Each structure stands twice: as structure tokens, then as C-alpha cells.
Chains A and B, each alone.
Chain A
Amino acid sequence: MLTLAATAALLFASTARADEEAAETCLRTKIWEGYTSGWQVRSQTNATFGSGEHRVYLVTLYAGNEYKFLACGDDNSANLDLVLYDAAGNVLATDNSNDREPSLTYTPTVTDTFYLAVHGSRLNDAAKKAGVSTAVSYK
């Protein structure tokens, strides 16, 4: 009985776990493809999102460089959104896509710190979490 219960618990945990690895694989493919167009990567990070949750990343951007922010969600992600804010909290750019692979490009005119918000706007199954991988690239 104990073995059965343990197995069931493991299966339950497994199906409930967000798939950060799938999100990361998707994003790394995009990063690799970006090199052919001159993009290089500064950072890549993974996180787990609940429905409607968001993460905020502080980023330093150089005037003159062009930046692309990319995210990939796992199969449970239906719509992810990216929003870039300046240091005062003004919205500078928002991705308008309704999918789980949003991207956003921005060329700052001043070197400063900015906030990138990643929103898990809609999940296929709101009761489960979603794995999301986010990257900052530049050229």
C-alpha cells in the first residue's frame, strides 16, 4: 500500500510540475538562431509561473545597442506577455502577441536600468504551473 501511495504521489507531483526544461530548449533554439542575425545573449533564466503571475527583471541597457527580449513557455503556457518599463515605471514597449513565445525589441537612447516584466497571462490549465524561460539578447 505504501509503495502504491508513493508511486501515485510521485505521478501526481510529476504531472503538476512545470516543464522548465521544455521552455529552456525552445528558448535556446531561438537564441542559437539569433546568432545568424548578429544577436548575442547576455543572460537566460528559467522560472515557474502560476496563472496570472509575473516576474520582474532589472536590466541595464546601453544606449546604441539594440536589445531583444525573448521568452518561451512550456506546453501549459497559452499566452505569455512581455512589458518593458523605464526606471520611473513608464511603459516603453509591450509585446502584442497572443502566444507562448513572445519577443520584444528596444533600442534605448540612454544607458540606464529598465524593468522587464514577464507575465504568465493565460495558462491552458490554470490549476497547474508553467515553465518559462526568458533571455536578454543584444546586437
Chain B
Amino acid sequence: MRTLSLLLAAALVGCGGDSTTVAEAPPKEAPAPDATAPAAPPPTLAVADLQAQAENIALVPSPAEMQKALEKAGVAGGLSKLVSAREFKMDVENKDVVAVRTGVVLADALLTVKDAETGVLVARLEKVKAGMVALGAGTDIAATLDELVNAVKNETKSRDELLKDLDDLHGAILPEIKYEAGERVVPLLQAGSWLEGSNLVANAILTSGKIEAGNSLLRQPQVAGYFLKYVQVEGADKAPSEVVKQLEATLKKLQEIAAKPNLSTEDTTEIKAQTDAVLGLL
């Protein structure tokens, strides 16, 4: 104990001297930043460094962002009218499947928040909550979803305000659940949202006949590759479920199609068929 005390005393001295000296010394002021001085530009990074250091946290576009891009591309109708009713169960053993399902329903909620009937939107939000709870995402996110459900039921928030809240849930809160639910859950949730968005975009393009829009809306090989990395991890140590097997096959096909210089009607039809295949198994 005496040795320990001496060591701790020495550590305290090493951390800035004794308490009297610290108390009597004038506060050490940090140099004030000169906001008017021209700042040196940051160093330019080499592409190899960019590739090696890049984090994927902001890689995946949100479904609402896809909708915006679709409108900019002149594809009429939007995505919300194409969203279909789904009866997903969240109380299943395979957490990967729950994560993908939750991502799909969250995408549907985001895309329809402005015009869905109250009961339909409430059902979607409650399904998202059930998924989050099943994934062990923590009580904060469940409470947030309860608040959203009450706001929809009681009409205490406008649909524009709800869109902000859902955007926030999808973009800022969701990535944080990795601390409770595990690292793998977030990309699988994102994969569900992205697949649902891609399926609806492909559907909208085919319906409108504006096939050229697929070049700017459906070619995202890096995103497919990012999801594949997580999906393939499971196969290394256990037999994947039918859903995960189909997800892997779909992502590989989407990556292959995205590498083409131009997407044809057949390519867009294939994207829709491939994403339908995953969504149909859910």
C-alpha cells in the first residue's frame, strides 16, 4: 500500500505538480485563434491514402435522397405511391433478417411520411420499433419511436416536422445503435433501406420509360461492395439463411450491372427482379 501511495504521489507530480502550485499559477491561456489571418490550406491527400483511410459511415444514400434524385432526373410520380404494404415479422431468430426487414420498413416510413394515412404510418413506425427492440438497439431509440408514434396519432407534429425526425433517426441516430446492437447491424439495416429504395427507383424508371435515368440513379458499385463485405462475413462460419444467400447473390449482380457504362431496359429490369427476389424472401 505504501509503495502504491508513493507511485500515485509520483504520478500526481508528473501530471502537473502539487495542488498548491496549480492553484497559485495564473491560468494558462491558449493562444487566441486569429480568424482574420489567412489559413494555410490543408495538405492534399494522395488517392492511395484516400482509399486506405476512407470510412464508410456516410457512403450510403438515404431513400429520401434517392427520391430527390429521381425528381431531379425528371422521373414523374415519385416513390411513395410505389411503396407496398408489408407484413414483416420481427420476432425471428435470425438477427440479420430482422435488420434487413427493419431497414426496408424504415425506408417505407421515410418515403411515405408526408402522405401516408395515419394508421399506415403508425403501423410502419411501430414495426421499426419492434425491429429495433429485437435487435437490442437500446431503450433510447424505442422511446424516440414511441414519441414519433404519439406525434402521428395525436397530430402534434406536422408531416414536415416528422420528416425531419425520421431523417434524423435514419441518418444520425441509427449509426449509433452499433454500440448496443453490434457493428454488423447498421450496414444490414442500411442494406434493407437501400435495396428497397433501389427497387422502387428501378420500378419508377421502368414505369416512366426514362431508362437513361438509370445511369445516374442505379449505378453504385461501391455501395453494393460495402454491403457484400458484411453479408459475406456470415458465410465464413455458419450456413447463411435463404435471405442472406439471396442478398449476397443480388448484391453481386447489382455490382456487375453497375460496372456497365450504360444501363439498358434489360439491366433496369434485372435490378428490379434481383431486388424483388430479396424483398420477396423477407
Contacts and interface: CB of A to CB of B under 8 A. Distances in A.
Contact of B68 (A31, A40, A54, A60): A40
Nearest to A123: B30
A91 B9 CA distance: 52
A121 B40 contact: yes
B9 A1 contact: yes
B65 A59 contact: no
27 contacts: A2-B4, A2-B5, A5-B8, A35-B164, A40-B68, A43-B175, A45-B58, A45-B175, A56-B49, A56-B50, A56-B53, A57-B56, A58-B56, A58-B222, A60-B223, A62-B72, A65-B65, A89-B45, A98-B39, A113-B220, A115-B45, A115-B50, A119-B43, A121-B39, A121-B42, A124-B32, A134-B58
A79 interface: yes
A35 B43 CA distance: 32
Interface of A: 1-2, 4-5, 8-9, 12, 28, 31-32, 35, 40-45, 54-60, 62-65, 76, 78-79, 81, 83, 85, 88-89, 91, 94, 96-99, 110-111, 113, 115-117, 119, 121-122, 124-125, 134-136, 138-139
Interface of B: 4-5, 8-9, 11-12, 15-16, 30-47, 49-50, 53-62, 64-66, 68-69, 72-73, 160, 163-164, 167-168, 171-172, 175, 215-217, 219-220, 222-223
A1 B10 CA distance: 12
B9 to A, nearest CB: 7
Contacts of B4: 2
Contacts of A89: 45-47, 50
